[in-house]
Amino acid sequence: MLEAREFSEKAKCIYEAHKEEWEKLYDGKVIAIDIDAGDFASVGDQAQNVGLEARKERPGHRIYMRRVGENPAVLRFRNKNYA
């Protein structure tokens, strides 16, 4: 299992790899990054809805949530139900 710092670093690398595209499409939105798949799991305006959708679509996956753009405001880690 990844430590919290490794987990956030992996999410940051995934975000950086897709930064230009995601900031054009989703600036200011909340995004759930799927650490296991290396892409986003869901996107929306409200953290709660984004988190619920990500867990529904990708059960057991490790999810990192942040706001897209200049001020990321990391919202929460989701590591629940990961085997």
Angle at 22 between CA 10 and CA 63, to 5 degrees: 40
Half-sphere exposure of 11 (CA within 13 A, CB side): 28
51 part of a folded domain: yes
Q: Please give the pLDDT value at position 83.
A: 45
Structure confidence by residue, pLDDT tens digits, 13-61: 999 999 999 999 999 999 999 999 999 999 999 988 999 999 999 999 9
Structural domain contains residue 83: no
Decide: residue 45, CB within 10 A, 0-12 exposed, 13-18 middle, 19+ buried.
exposed
- pLDDT at position 82: 47
Assess if residue 56 is contained within a domain. Answer: yes
Place of tokens 């085997």: 83
Residue 31 domain-assigned (yes or no): yes
Number of domains in the chain: 1
For residues 50 and 68, is the Cβ–Cβ distance under 8 A? no
- Taking phi over 0 as left and psi of -120 to 50 as alpha, with beta for the rest, 3 belongs to beta
> Each residue of 24-37: pLDDT tens digit?
999 999 999 999 99
Q: Which amino acid is at 32?
A: A
User: Domain containing 21: what range?
Assistant: 4-78
Statement: residue 74 has pLDDT above 90:
no
Report whether pLDDT(1) > 60.
Answer: no
